[in-house]
Amino acid sequence: MTTTQPWVRHYQPGVHAEIDIPTDSLVAMFDRAVAAGGDAVACEFFGATTTYASLADQVARLADALRRVGVKQGDRVAIVLPNSPQHIVAFYAILRLGAVVVEHNPLYTAHELAGMFADHGARVAIAWDASVAKLPPLDHVIAVNLLDAFPTLKRLALALPVKKLRETRARLHADAPGATPWKTALKGSKLAASHPGPSVDDLAVIQYTSGTTGHFKGAMLTHLNLYANALQGAAWMKDAVDGREVSYALLPMFHAFGMTLYLTFGLLKRSRLVLFPTFDVDMVLDAAKKSPPTIYCAVPPIYDKTARRAAERGISLKTAKFCISGAMALTDEIVNRWESVSGGLLVEGYGLTESSPVALGNPFWPTRRTGTIGVPFPSTLMRVVDPDDPTRDVPQGTPGELLLKGPQVFGGYWNAPEETAASLLPDGWLRTGDLVTVDADGFTTIVDRLKELIITGGFNVAPSEVEAELLDHPDIADVAVVGIPDAVGGERVVAAVVSASGKELDTAELRAWAKERLAAYKVPREFVTVPELPKSLLGKVLRKQVRDQLAQRA
C-alpha cells in the first residue's frame, strides 16, 4: 500500500504508515505471548489471578478434550460465555485445533441461538451453565460454572445460606444436566505439541453481525484478519509497553470490539486483563484501587458513568492513558469529563465486524479531532463513493459511502454469497454502509447510516429483526422499529405500532412478550401506538419519517 496518503502526517510521531503483515496464526502469537509471559499475571477475575503459564496449560488440556470428542480442523465450535478466564482458554483451545470459533451472546434467547446454530452448524459448544438450557440439541456441551474462577473466599461466601448471596449465586450458576463440567474437561491430558495447527489464511472466527441488511450474518474472519488488526492496534498505541499494561475488559469478548481488544491485542501485548462479566461502575472503581488500569477502552456511556462516579468517590484514574471510544458518537462533554479524571487523551475510532473490527482512529496526539472518527489505521485505505455507483469517488468534502481496504477486511459471510457480493466489491473494497464526509487531511465524520441499524449501548440492533418478532404478536397489525438519540450519544430502541383492534395497546404486556423472544438490548424501550405508518408508493415503511415523527414527539 502507498504511504503517501495525506492523513499519515497527522499520525502520532513514531507510528508508521504500514505494519508487517503477519505470516503465522493467532496460535503462534499466543504461544509467543505465553512463553514470554511465564508466571506473570495474564488475567484477573474478581481478584483471582491466572498466569500466562497456567493459561497455556489449560488451553492445551481443553484442546485435547475437544479433540477427544471429535473436534477437528475446520469444525465450528460455539462459545456462549461472558467475559471470564474460561472464555480466553476456550477461544485459543478451539483455534489450537485449527477449528473455528463462533461467538455468541450468552444472554440471547433460545430462539435467537437456534437461528445462528442452524446457520453455522456447530455440534459442540462451550457455554456458561446458566445458558446451556437455551442451546439447541448438540453432540457435546462443556458447561462453565463461573464460580469456579472466583477467589476461594468469595466462592465460599456465596455458598452461605443468606438470601442475597443465594440470589447472586442463582444468577451466576445453574445446573446443566447432560453437559460435561469445565473442571472435568480439564482433567485429561494435554494436546500433543506435534498436533497440526492452523495457518495464517485459515478461518479463525465466525462473528455474527446484522451487517447492512438487518438479518444476522456470520462474518468470516481469518487468522490473518484478526492478527493484522491486533498489530495495527499495537502500532497505533505505540507507547503501550509489552508486559506492563493493565487492560480493563469492560466490553464483551463475544463482540468484535471486545474480542480484538482483549483476546488478540491484549494477548499480543501481554497485558494483565482485568475481566468484568458485566459493567458495574462501582465494581470497576473498586478494582481500580487494587489494579489501576492503563488501557480503558469502552463506549461513551461507560466513560460518562465511570468519570462521574470516580469524581464522586474520589478515586483516581490518572493511570488510564490509552482510551479509545467506539460504537457510537463521542461528545465533547464526555471527552472533557473523562480527561478531567484520567491520565491521557480519549480518542474516537471506527470499525465494524467485517473489518476485524478497527479501521480508523484518532491519533493519541494533539492532532486528534473530537467529533470525527479519525483517519485510517496503518496499512488501511479508504475511499468515499457515490452509494448508487461505488465505482465513482465523490469530491472531497461531499457526503458519500465509506469504503475500506486492508489486511483486516474479511473475506465474506458464512453461507451467504449474495450478501458477500453486495458488501465486497470485486477488487476487495468493503462497502461499510456508512455515509461520511472527509476533510483534506483525511479526518472522517459520519453523516448518516445507509443500513438503518440502531446502535444502543454499543450493540447493533437490526430494526427488521425486531419488527419480524413483534409482527407475530396477535394485537399488532404493523410496526416500525427505529432508534431515537439519547443523551449520551447512543440511541434507544422505539417501536411505532399499529393496533390490530384500533385500541391502545398494553405496552407492559408487549414488552414482556418481546423479552421472551429477544435479547434485552433489542427489546424496545418504548411502544408508541400510531394509527398508521408512513409508506412509500411501493409499500415500504419509511423509517426515517417514523424516526423524525417520534423524535419530535419526544
Residue pLDDT, tens place only, 267-285 = 999 999 999 999 999 999 9
pLDDT digits (tens, 9 = 90+) for 79-103: 999 999 999 999 999 999 999 999 9
User: Which band of pLDDT confidence, cut at 50, 70 and 90, is reported for residue 244?
Assistant: very high
Who wins on pLDDT, 71 or 332? 71
pLDDT value for 224: 98
Q: Which residues does residue 403 pair with via DSSP β-bridges, in sequence order?
A: 383, 431
pLDDT value for 456: 84
Of 38-52, 232-246, 531-545, the range with the lowest mean pLDDT is 531-545
Question: Looking at residues 292-296, what average pLDDT do you find?
Answer: 98
User: Which band of pLDDT confidence, cut at 50, 70 and 90, is reported for residue 166?
Assistant: low
Q: SS3 of 230, please?
A: helix
Q: Is the pLDDT reported for residue 537 higher than 60?
A: no
pLDDT value for 455: 84
- Residue 91: phi and psi, rounded to 5, are -60, -50
pLDDT value for 160: 59
Q: Are 307 and 340 in contact (CB under 8 A)?
A: yes
Question: Looking at residues 384-403, what average pLDDT do you find?
Answer: 94
Where residue 356 falls (left for φ over 0; alpha for ψ -120 to 50; beta otherwise) is: left
pLDDT value for 468: 84
Who wins on pLDDT, 393 or 540? 393
Q: SS3 of 414, please?
A: coil
pLDDT value for 498: 94
pLDDT digits (tens, 9 = 90+) for 18-75: 999 999 999 999 999 999 999 999 999 999 999 999 999 999 999 999 999 999 999 9
Q: Is the pLDDT reported for residue 124 higher than 90?
A: yes
pLDDT value for 4: 73
User: Which band of pLDDT confidence, cut at 50, 70 and 90, is reported for residue 165?
Assistant: low
What percentage of the chain has pLDDT greater than the value 90? 79
What does the mean pLDDT of the chain come to? 92
pLDDT digits (tens, 9 = 90+) for 175-199: 899 999 999 999 999 999 999 999 9
Q: What is d(CA 500, CA 476) in angstroms, rounded to the nearest whole number?
A: 5
Question: Looking at residues 357-362, what average pLDDT do you find?
Answer: 97
Q: Is the pLDDT reported for residue 113 higher than 50?
A: yes
pLDDT digits (tens, 9 = 90+) for 410-435: 999 999 999 999 999 999 999 999 99
46: its cell numbers: 474478581
**Cα–Cα nearest to 144, from 103, 113, 114, 184:** 184
Q: Is the pLDDT reported for residue 169 higher than 70?
A: no
Residue with cell 481488544: 261
Question: Looking at residues 282-303, what average pLDDT do you find?
Answer: 94
